[in-house]
């Protein structure tokens, strides 16, 4: 197998011998999961667009849609236009709307695939002049657009609402108005402040357990309109506590990129389905593990998925909002796109040492599809940074 020289934290260069990648599961294996599993998918930037990447958005639509088909081929659903797609962090609402349109068209050309679409209020400037009614209208605008295209909804957390809300009652007002209008049950997304600092105090409290009470009250009041809740707090304990209190029929979708293996496997009182950014990066391993779990092979499930957890914890380490860099980096290493360029110039958000360790952990997790290709691309990136063996 390939050997590559990688930098270390003590400023040395050390050889690293790579292992064997995981085998991709067959489509038949990927068809029988006993968990719902969405991968929050990234977008592929257009590297040849004549734009200022910090200010403007340019997407390679062909490669972006091809990546969705890759996820569907592995039996995973696609959670579209979520924070993994740099929603509100380079991807604006007009671009997100076009992304949703193209992905829904691609989904309609296939049989039995899952797709859900993020709606929020990111067309609003979350300034002091924004009102609660403005937030409601912004949600309504996006919901109307996505429902008209036939998309199922994920109600994303609103930066504008976090800024203007003065109490839990404001959250109840906004979500109550929205949930009474939606055509089909939605997934409510509770994105923690570790992912987006602008969302601190969501649900009207900086105490997550108090915020949980508000969220649960809203769900109970509109249970027929809620398919599930995606919790992204990076806390196993908080997710399980909430999962055990959800009304019957309401799903918990784990967004915990630190503890997903344990949460998906579940315990004697239940389990979490999945809506995860890390599944974008480890899709073959996620698919193979879920196929094992569906066959009752919990040991096999953990044997495949547990080695990916150190990789995920590294990708999502603080500042967690920069995790998208690692996701796109892995897509490039794996030949799923031809470049390491991101919307908003976010390829520069992590250091070369971070990426070198990510490379090692990805190899140990067996999620580098073609080790020779990955080593060649990593060597080119190191050379660009002036690091040569």
> CB–CB of 254/261 below 8 Å?
no
pLDDT for residue 25: 73
DSSP single-letter state for residue 77: E
pLDDT for residue 126: 73
The tokens describing 230, both together, are 């995606």
The tokens describing 142, both together, are 């996006």
Question: In whole angstroms, how far apart are CA 14 and each of 55, 274, 377, 388?
Answer: 38, 37, 17, 11
Q: Regarding beta strands 3-7 and 13-17, do their DSSP bridges make them parallel or antiparallel, or are they unpaired?
A: antiparallel
Q: What is the pLDDT of residues 123-166, one digit of tens each?
A: 998 778 899 999 999 999 999 999 999 999 999 999 999 999 99
Q: Which residues of the chain have pLDDT under 70?
A: 27-31
Domain boundaries, the chain: 3-8+26-384
pLDDT for residue 127: 76
| Nearest by Cα to 258 from 186, 353, 194 | 194
Contact partners, residue 206, CB within 8 Å, separation at least 6: 200
Work out the mean pLDDT of the chain and round it to a whole number: 96
pLDDT for residue 88: 87
Q: What is the pLDDT of residues 253-301, one digit of tens each?
A: 999 999 999 999 999 999 999 999 999 999 999 999 999 999 999 999 9
pLDDT for residue 30: 66
Domain 3-8+26-384 class in CATH: alpha beta
Q: Answer left, alpha or beta for residue 109, where phi above 0 means left and psi between -120 and 50 means alpha.
A: alpha
pLDDT for residue 244: 98
pLDDT for residue 275: 98
DSSP assignment of 185-253 equals: -EEEEEE-TTT-GGGTTGGG-SSHHHHHHHHHHHHHHTGGGEEEEEEESS-HHHHHHHHTTSPTTPEEE
**Maximum separation of any 2 CA atoms in the chain, in Å:** 62
pLDDT for residue 22: 85
Distance spanning both ends of the chain, measured CA to CA: 18
């Amino acid at each position: 197998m390939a050997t590559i020289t990688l930098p270390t934290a003590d400023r040395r260069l050390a050889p690293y011998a790579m292992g064997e990648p995981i085998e991709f599961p067959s489509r038949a294996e990927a068809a029988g999961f006993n968990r719902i599993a969405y991968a929050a998918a990234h977008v592929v930037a257009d590297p040849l667009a004549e734009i200022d990447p910090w200010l403007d958005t340019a997407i390679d639509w062909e490669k972006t849609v091809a990546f969705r088909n890759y996820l569907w081929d592995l039996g995973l659903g696609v959670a579209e236009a979520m924070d993994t797609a740099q929603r509100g962090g380079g991807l604006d609402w007009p671009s997100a709307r076009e992304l949703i349109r193209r992905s829904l068209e691609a989904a309609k050309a296939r049989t039995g695939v899952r797709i859900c679409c993020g709606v929020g209020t990111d067309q609003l400037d979350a300034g002091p002049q924004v009102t609660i009614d403005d937030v409601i209208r912004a949600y309504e605008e996006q919901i109307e657009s996505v429902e008209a295209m036939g998309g199922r909804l994920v109600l994303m957390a609103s930066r504008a609402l976090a800024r203007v809300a003065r109490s839990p009652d404001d959250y109840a007002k906004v979500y109550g108005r929205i949930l009474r209008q939606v055509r089909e049950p939605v997934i409510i997304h509770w994105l923690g402040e570790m992912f987006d600092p602008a969302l601190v105090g969501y649900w009207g409290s900086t105490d997550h357990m108090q915020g949980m009470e508000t969220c649960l009250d809203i769900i109970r009041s509109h249970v027929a309109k809620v398919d599930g809740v995606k919790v992204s707090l990076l806390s196993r304990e908080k997710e399980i506590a909430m999962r055990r209190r959800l009304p019957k029929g309401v799903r918990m979708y784990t967004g915990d990129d630190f503890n997903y293996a344990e949460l998906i496997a579940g315990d004697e009182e239940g389990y979490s389905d999945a809506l995860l950014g890390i599944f974008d990066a480890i899709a073959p391993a996620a698919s193979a593990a879920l196929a094992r779990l569906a066959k009752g092979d919990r040991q096999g499930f953990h044997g495949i998925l547990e080695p990916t957890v150190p990789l995920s914890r590294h990708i999502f380490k603080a500042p967690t909002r920069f995790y998208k860099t690692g996701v796109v980096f892995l897509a490039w290493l794996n030949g799923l796109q031809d470049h390491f360029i991101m919307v908003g110039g976010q390829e520069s958000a992590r250091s070369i040492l971070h990426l070198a360790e990510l490379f090692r952990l990805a190899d140990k997790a067996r999620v580098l599809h073609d080790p020779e290709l990955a080593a060649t691309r990593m060597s080119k990136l190191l050379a660009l940074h002036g690091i040569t063996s």
